[in-house]
Amino acid sequence: MAQRLPRTQAEPLSGLGAAVFDALPIGLYVVDRGLRVVAWNSLREKGPLGVPRGRALGRPLRGVLPPRGYRATLPVLSHVFKTGIPHEETAETRAGLFHVRRLPVRQGPEVTHVLSAFEDITERRTLEMRLIASDRLAFLGQLVAGVAHEVSNPLAGIAGCAEALASLATKGSGKAAREARKFRDLIRREVGRCEGIVRFLLDSARADPGTTSDLGTTVGTALRLLERHPAFARIRVVARIPKELPPARLETDSLKQVVMALAMNGSQAMPGGGTLTLRAGRTGPNLFLDVIDTGPGVPPAIRARIFEPYFTTNVGGGAGLGLAIARTLVRRWGGDVVHSPRRSGACFRVVMKAAERA
């Protein structure tokens, strides 16, 4: 296109026009029909993709934009010059998420220039996703509490049947009585385990700010529960939890659930094996627990969605609830779970309030 369009003299903005151009809170640039830059505002000079105005004005757009960006932009500009129809799109770059408008500028009947406007919508989109996630988690919390209450009723009935079976079993001494006692004990054990799950679900919804847990003990318990899981067969687990750390203001079962969710998330990022590191420390009034894997890391394009309920990138499985539930549990106790970008792998940091030892 650039070779066929007639070249026009670049006329940079000056005076009030230039001041207004720079005052607008969006990135702007204008090209003529020869695809030369004739205007470039101050916001286009900033950020990872910024270019100084002196290196842009009067130059072909091909030499100003990165090659990949130019290849994507060229057909859009061609279409606007040819049809005079504005073009809108959402573009994701390493600088963030942008709403991009390409607007035709006419002098007479001919489109002589195209104005490109870039509005950074990264923060807005993040807030929108957080609101959606918050609504989903609120619904999920109500659902979980309701299920827990409903499950407690049949559990009580099963426990009563087990006790009735126990009273019959104690009256005999033969093989049938021994088998009955064995099944009675099995029912008792499984009912107790289910009751523990119900208590955990209900307790998670009503956090007691006075409850604390020991990081080293809780992390150790969680890792022992996971060590026989097939996902950890080829994963080396390293735990670095200083003994001198004070307790965390977070209920033990909730912390254990968080550790297991983050550890499972890390294992899913390393299907071929790797190293999972759990390290803890103190920063000011808070404690932190980092769960670090040596997988491929979280691509920038999906970082804003990783804590969204039901969002998952795991191929062939995963409900996408692990990270969402982990963050929800920790936030109920005044902490948070955040993703910390790394050069390689991924790091999820659990931030908790510290409780001084008595």
- For residue 8, is it within any domain? no
CATH number at residue 160: 1.10.287
Q: Please indicate, yes or no, if residue 9 is contained in any of the structural domains.
A: no
240/343 same-domain check: yes
Compute CA distances 145 → 148, 154, 164, 190, whole Å.
Answer: 5, 15, 29, 20
In a domain, 2, yes or no: no
For residue 54, is pLDDT > 60?
Answer: yes
293 phi and psi, to 5 degrees? -115, 165
> Which pTM value belongs to this model?
0.48
Q: How far is CA 157 from CA 147, 169, 302, in A?
A: 16, 18, 46
The arithmetic mean of pLDDT across residues 125-132, rounded, is 71
| CA-CA-CA-CA torsion sign (127, 42, 26, 37) | negative
What is the per-residue pLDDT for 218? 92
User: Same structural domain for residues 333 and 235?
Assistant: yes
The secondary structure element, H or E, covering residue 286 is strand 286-293
- In this structure, the answer to whether residues 227 and 320 fall within a common structural domain is yes
Query: Which comes out higher in pLDDT, residue 96 or 337?
Result: 337
Q: Which of 32-36, 189-193, 272-276, 309-313 has the lowest mean pLDDT?
A: 309-313
* Mean pLDDT taken over the chain: 80
pLDDT band for position 4 (50/70/90)? very low
| Calculated CA dihedral for residues 135, 141, 147, 151, nearest 10 degrees | 170
Q: Would 305 be classed as within a structural domain?
A: yes
Q: What is the DSSP code string of 38-90?
A: EEE-GGGGSSTT---HHHHTTSBGGGTS-HHHHHHHHHHHHHHHHH---EEEE
Same domain, 275 and 348: yes
Query: Which residue matches tokens 């999820």?
Result: 348
Which segment of 59-68, 139-148, 177-186, 345-354 scores lowest on mean pLDDT?
Answer: 139-148
Which residue, 94, 108, 198, 188, is CA-closest to 145?
A: 198
Averaged pLDDT for residues 299-307: 82
pLDDT band at 336 (very low <50, low <70, confident <90, very high): very high
Helix count and strand count (H, E) for the chain: 8, 10
pLDDT grade for 320, boundaries at 50, 70 and 90: low
Cα separations (Å) of 302 from 91, 249, 343? Answer: 14, 31, 16
Residue 6 lies in a domain: no
In a domain, 209, yes or no: no
- Same domain for 131 and 103, yes or no, is no
* 3-state secondary structure (DSSP) of residue 312: coil
Last residue of a domain, one of 176, 204, 232: 204
Cα–Cα dist 28/77, whole Å: 14
Residues 88 and 159 in one domain: no
More confident residue, 138 or 278: 278
pLDDT of residue 143: 64
Position 30 scores a pLDDT of: 92
Q: State the pLDDT at residue 136.
A: 63
Instruction: Give domain status of residue 285, yes or no.
Output: yes
When comparing pLDDT for 242 and 69, which is higher?
A: 242
Taking only the tens place, the pLDDT of each residue in 87-111 is: 998 887 766 788 899 999 998 889 9
Q: What is the C-alpha separation between 46 and 107, in angstroms, rounded?
A: 30
Domain that holds residue 88: 15-120
165 and 266 housed in the same domain: no
Which of 63, 91, 120 is at the close of a domain?
A: 120
Banded pLDDT at 123 (limits 50, 70, 90): confident
**Type of residue numbered 127:** L
224 and 327 both lie in a single domain: yes
How many structural domains is the chain composed of?
A: 3
By mean pLDDT, which of 65-74, 93-102, 107-116 is the weakest? Answer: 93-102
Q: Please check whether residue 263 lies inside any domain of the structure.
A: yes
Same domain membership, residue 298 and residue 188: no
Domain with 84 in it: what CATH number?
3.30.450.20
- Of 69, 96, 120, which residue constitutes the final position of a domain? 120
Whether 314 and 226 map to the same domain: the answer is yes
CATH number, residue 238: 3.30.565.10
Residues with Cβ within 8 Å of 8's Cβ and at least 6 positions away in sequence, in order, are 32, 33, 34, 112
Q: What is the SS3 assignment for 213?
A: strand
Whole-angstrom distance, CA of residue 319 vs CA of residue 189: 28
At residue 316 the predicted structure's pLDDT band, cuts being 50, 70 and 90, is: very low
Residues 239 and 340 both lie in one domain: yes
Check whether residue 115 and residue 129 sit in a common domain: no
